[in-house]
Amino acid sequence: MSSTIPPSTLKALTRQFNHELFAAQSYLALSVWCEVQNFSGCAAFFTKQAGEEREHADKIIAHLVDRGDAAEIAAMEAPRQKFSSLGDVALHAQALEQANTRGINATLEAALVDKDYPAQVLMHWFVNEQVEEEAWAAKMVALVQRATCAGGLSSFDRHVSDLLGAGD
């Protein structure tokens, strides 16, 4: 079975699932940094996010395979792993989500131009998902920046999943 996906949409979907895999690796790196710094709550939160990004990649891969495409997995650059503070981590997570949203939008735009209806519907799910993802990231940045009193960051770390709604 050969691919039934128009070339530009296929290129965009392929780039996007690889980007989701990169996001998974990036969240794994954030989780490791947090664990080393004894922010165990944030480490668990980012481990969960890494799993979700992997599921996002799987969703697009399944779509490609169902339509007869081989879903080419690209070589990946190493994620950033050095951070100066939890605030730095939060800003990085937010930048990752913003980049991901740009990728989703570009993929939807390609599917619109190609009149590729299945990919459009698939990307609608991702557009909604990014609203939630950007929401927890913005909240994380705001709450970490606000945690300036003694023990503020530790308190944030203990309650991070409740505070951010875990971004399902």
- Footprint of Fe ion (CB under 5 A): 20, 53, 56, 133
For residue 166, the minimal CB distance to Fe ion (Å) is 12
Q: For residues 45 and 52, what is the distance between their CA atoms, to the nearest angstrom?
A: 11
Nearer to Fe ion, 69 or 133 (CB): 133
Task: Give residue number: closest CB to Fe ion.
Answer: 56
19 CB contacts (<8 Å, ≥6 apart)? 99, 100, 103
Strands (E), 109-148: none
For residue 164, the minimal CB distance to Fe ion (Å) is 12
Nearer to Fe ion, 133 or 157 (CB): 133
Nearer to Fe ion, 41 or 167 (CB): 167
Name the percent of the chain in helix, strand, coil, to the closest 5. 75, 0, 25
- CA-CA-CA-CA torsion for 21, 24, 26, 27, nearest 10 degrees? 170
Nearer to Fe ion, 30 or 144 (CB): 30
Task: Decide if 15 contacts 66 (C-beta within 8 A).
Answer: no
For residue 57, the minimal CB distance to Fe ion (Å) is 8
For residue 19, the minimal CB distance to Fe ion (Å) is 8
